[in-house]
Structure 1
């Protein structure tokens, strides 16, 4: 008899109102999902049941009814479809069930890790997701848990929003028994977190969920897809609601994510509600333009190298140990993409390629001096005896994750801690293989060298050449300053017409060189200076109003620190409201191009003025 069926443990072959159970797919605190078959077709059957005995069974039933109402309101190709629903067994005590599409594919996090999408493919996926979110909000439905695990992609690459167990709709009864509704903590909006902090000691307070909360959650997913090669595995990620804004996708990927897309992603995460899109329709529109981009930085570039997404190759004799905080192995650093050197656009890419082909004389001389110094120091140092072998850790059992075939059931959210969790951004590190040439003891393979052996002049010359080649290989494209080139006409027009700036000395904006250095580790006690550790992308801001651009306008660009000065070029300005315009602004100090390096500067630590003047130009000098 149906009412005697155990909804938590239905066996293959059992029938639920004509749906034959094939297998159990998964379960959570409020539901269990099965694969079922009817008339030769496969579906997912979601059964409402109180798995967690500490909860209220009546609330479980109410949640299931609310999920049915939400799904009845929706009809969109990128939202999971409900085909049937009912109550099995006794009309009063039987269990509710919902029949849904069986989605054969990956969660969004798995899709990033296993299919290696391009920038354009990421854009297309989120364009469809924001279109689905717009449809949802137009019908008064909020998902409330748009996390990486609640978005799936079919084997054909089509996204599907699943799991409406935490969803809500207008005029629905209040079921939340805490200050905040169920949600993945990482995807909570800043205003929700602020409400939680302000009402820690008020158990009766209830946060009013808004459409902007769903928009922020989807923006958090976009940020993780663009910045994390294994988003479904990573644990130590930068907080999205902290006092310091997370690094932009452009900076994290060293230019592999185009600057415009990076700026858009950061706008979705802006701590101020006024700076974020108010509706899903507003959030969708920029993605429509990005989807039309045809350049190689969109169509041919992946935000992450395949090597950063593959599991580590097991060492001889057993699996490689896994570093703590790096699921799947050590993160492989992402090399610089040409757009990180000269901004986005075809002209910029061509300029970057020229810069890589012709390093300047100063950079080459610096490499020679460095190589000579290293060789001279190591050639007169005795080689230590071979160290004892290091015992490897035991084998680590690794099992392949089972493919996700249906909607993931709703899980009971964990209680928030007394203080919001903070996550530290991982810093990629370069590690050489054990048998690679190193400079530690002055020879390529120190364990094979004789401790008393003296090198001949020929060998010393060979070592010097080898050292130079090795260093240069690690410093591909080193240049002390960028090459002169014409500023794109669109940037000249934007500065003149939209910003009211004049080129050639007419406009000299004051610039905070790098806003991420508000609390840097200074090499001097003078807080008028900041430290630049490497060449790369930079985010500055206007220190005062300039024309039609207000104080605080963000400027995206690039810094060069290899030579005797710090050079900087800013190529994008983000105006209030999130709109970006192209610009051409160079860093200057007095009448000189670039910034003076201050006392305490050394390779890898360039100390420069925290604020400097800029110069709007029609041609980069």
Structure 2
């Protein structure tokens, strides 16, 4: 029974009100998140339980109930969707849970690091995020923790705001037991930080969170996306509220971020509340104009070219900068909240396998890179310097670009001003039928990745990238490594299942790809992604009956589709360790079919597999 289980450590195969646990995704201060399966479909199940001892255990249920209410108020394509909620076990002592979409993609920070988005792609993603924020505020809901980790981007390029564990709504019960609500320090607004400093020693003080706080947080995310090539990994980013103002995106990227977008990003994180947009709708308006801009500086330029995201080679004896802490040098522990969804995380580069000549090829590529780099250094032209600050007569006035000799590629002049906090009404009263933008992001442009690179430089960058991948860079795994099958799995297969090494059971690769009619060998193909997978036996195999579920993992970024299954779920809920690999035509792995793309491989849904004593 569920109440006899530890909700913090549910095991694969255990059931929660009909939802079968597949794996644990993560945990935070007030909840644990699992991937679950029901009727062949995958979801995220968030269980409310006290994880961090710093919190108040009596508030766990209340926080979960508040999250449910917030999600019930919302319905937007770029906000996580709730499918079910309930209490499992005893009505009084059981645990509350929420069932959510399982987003297949990356956190916003990972998306930047792995996909190298263009300027225009960044604009479109934040246009959709501000549209979602407009929808949220229009229904009286504040997220209160819009950090890089609480925004996902699907593999189709669609952003999704997740994790409403810290969210609040009008007339909600006060649960905060500190001056500030739970959240991410870097995304705190200047007003919140000033309140925090002024009330460090006042246990009764409570900050009144406003729509402007969410807007600032999303603006901080935009700044980090535009200025940091590895925002989910960086530990030494400059403070957004230090004594020295952070460098603008235009300056930080040596002009790769257009001046208009750079000025807009700096406006969103301006220290003065009066200089920032009053509502999410106002903040969204300039992005609508930016999204229409044409030209290579928008659609062909990447704020962070591939070279900027390669593992750095620190100089010997170089000093490591230290990130500025909280104002005043004191940091209050702020609970983190678990991500409600964690999709499969696939490497953005697709490694090329060569069966022979690898050392010679890498050496040749290295020589080519060296020659190209020398030529590039001779032909390099520095990026334009950022123009001096322009005094604004109004909070929304656009600065005059110093690059006036280069005409803008935007179809029309951007708005010259926007309502500010002083001009807007104090309450957020936005239309309920806020328009939504659901078009997918355009494919990354294959044109020049940055306008200041010559052809020789681009060639050197491409060759170096291929050489780096071919040399075996970490994080790009196209197939699993050989290893011994655990002895317990060998014993279980032989003694309990009656499987002998070398047998070839027929399996459905992924039951979530099953078609409405029975699967046959002749006509079924599906698109597979890297990550966990649930297969199924198509006929009795030893002591395992037809329909037995097999849990495993797929690798799809190489030249073939590789799969390993490590657990079998027998009737009655019993789990047995196994070692089974996918094979096709006697070769390890499956053939990729026409239409395969990196991270989205097309292959047969029903194939043979191989029982092994050692993973090949």
> Same fold by TM-score, threshold 0.5 exceeded?
yes
Match for residue 614 of structure 1? none
Aligned twin of 1:395: none
Q: What secondary structure does 1:84 align onto?
A: strand
Instruction: Provide the C-alpha distance between the structure 1 equivalents of 2:395 and 2:120, rounded to a whole number of angstroms.
Output: 33
Q: 1:575/1:81 Cα in 2 relative to 1: closer, same or farther (>3 Å)?
A: closer
Conserved 8 A contact 1:145-1:183? yes
Partner SS, residue 98 of structure 1: strand
- Equivalents in 1 of 2:394, 2:91: separation in Å? 64
Q: Secondary structure at the match of 1:225?
A: helix
Structure 1 position 578, deviation (Å): 8.9
* Distance (whole Å) between structure 1 residues aligned to residue 252 and residue 120 of structure 2: 18
Alignment of 1:330-479 (within 5 A): 407=341, 473=377, 476-477=380-381
Give the deviation of 1:538 after TM superposition: 2.5
Counterpart for residue 227 of structure 1 = 227
Task: Tell me which residue corresponds to 2:100.
Answer: 100
SS of 1:24's partner is strand
CA distance in 2, matches of 1:99, 1:240: 36
Give 1:490's aligned residue.
none
Max radius of gyration: which structure? 1
CA deviation vs aligned residue, 1:320-340 (integer Å, no higher than 9, x gap): 99977599xxxxxxxxxxxxx
Change (3 A) 1:182 1:5: same
Alpha-carbon distance in structure 2 between the residues aligned to 1:471 and 1:18: 64
Partner of 1:16: 16
Q: Look up the match of 1:165.
A: 165
Give the direction of change, closer, same or farther, for the CA distance of 1:280–1:555 in structure 2 (3 Å limit). Answer: closer
Equivalent position of 2:176 in the other structure: 176
Residue of structure 2 in register with 1:58 after alignment? 58
CA distance in structure 1 between the partners assigned to 2:378 and 2:249 by the alignment: 23
1:299-334 CA deviation, whole Å, 9 max, x = no partner? 1100111111122589xxxxx99977599xxxxxxx
User: 1:247 is matched with which residue?
Assistant: 247
CA 23–210 in structure 1, closer or farther in 2 if over 3 Å, else same: same
Residues 405 and 176 from structure 1, CA distance in 2 versus in 1: closer, same or farther, beyond 3 angstroms? Answer: closer
> Which residue in the other structure is 2:81 paired with?
81
- Residue 53 of structure 1, CA deviation: 3.4
Equivalent-residue separation in structure 2 for 1:25 and 1:73 (angstroms): 26
Contact 1:66 1:172 in 2 (8 A): yes
Following TM superposition, by how much is the alpha carbon of 1:573 offset from its aligned partner in structure 2, in angstroms?
12
**Offset at residue 476 of structure 1 (A):** 3.8
**What residue in structure 2 maps to residue 537 of structure 1?**
386
Which residue pairs with 1:339 in the alignment? Answer: none
Alignment of 1:107-122 (within 5 A): 107-122=107-122
SS in 1 for 2:10: coil
Q: Deviations over 1:485-539 (max 9, x none)?
A: xxxxxxxxxxxxxxxxxxxxxxxxxxxxxxxxxxxxxxxxxxxxxxxxx971122
Provide the C-alpha distance between the structure 2 equivalents of 1:298 and 1:570, rounded to a whole number of angstroms.
Answer: 13
| Whole-angstrom distance in 1 between the partners of 2:83 and 2:212 | 29
**Offset of residue 201 of structure 1:** 2.3
Matched residue SS, 2:9: coil
Q: Per-residue deviation at 1:195? A: 1.1
Counterpart residue number, 1:259: 259
CA distance in 2, matches of 1:19, 1:73: 24
Counterpart position of 1:272? 272
1:205 maps to 2:205: yes
Contact 2:226 2:257 (C-alpha < 8 Å) held by counterparts? yes
What is the CA-CA distance between 1:200 and the residue it aligns to?
2.0
Using the size of structure 2 for normalisation, the TM-score is: 0.56
Q: Distance in 2 between matches of 1:167 and 1:102?
A: 19
How far residue 291 of structure 1 moved from its aligned partner, in angstroms, is: 0.6
TM-score, with length taken from structure 1: 0.55
Contact 2:74 2:139 in 1 (8 A): yes
Pick closer, same or farther for the CA change 1:472–1:323 going to 2, 3 Å: closer
Asked if residue 37 in structure 1 is aligned to residue 6 in structure 2, the reply is no
CA distance in 2, matches of 1:13, 1:110: 30
Contact 2:66–2:172 under 8 Å retained in 1: yes
Q: Secondary structure at the match of 1:8?
A: helix
Q: Distance in 2 between matches of 1:405 and 1:178?
A: 22
SS state at 1:42 partner: strand
Q: 1:98 to 1:287 in 2, by over 3 A?
A: same
Listed one character per residue, the Cα deviations across residues 8-38 of structure 1 (whole Å, up to 9, x for unaligned) are: 1111111111111111111112111111111
CA offset at residue 272 of structure 1?
A: 1.1
CA distance in 2, matches of 1:475, 1:278: 46
Distance 1:553 1:155, change over 3 A: closer
User: Which structure has the higher relative contact order (CA within 8 Å, separation 6+)?
Assistant: 2
1:187 aligns with 2:187: yes
Quick one: distance in 1 between partners of 2:395 and 2:153? 42
Does the residue aligned with 2:80 lie in a helix, a strand or coil? coil
Partner of 1:27: 27
Contact 2:162 2:339 in 1 (8 A): no
**Partner Cα distance (1:578, 1:322) in 2:** 50
RMSD: 3.7
- Residues 278, 419 of structure 2: 8 Å contact kept: no
| In 2: Cα distance, 1:126 partner to 1:234 partner | 21
The 3 A distance-change label for structure 1 pair 556 and 475 is: farther
Change (3 A) 1:284 1:552: closer
Answer whether contact 2:26 2:339 (CA < 8 A) is retained. no
Deviation, 1:551, is 12
User: Is the partner of 2:229 in helix, strand or coil?
Assistant: coil
Task: Classify the secondary structure of the residue corresponding to 1:541.
Answer: coil
Equivalent residue of 2:217, what SS? helix
Residues in 1 aligned to 2:268 and 2:341: alpha-carbon distance in whole angstroms: 27
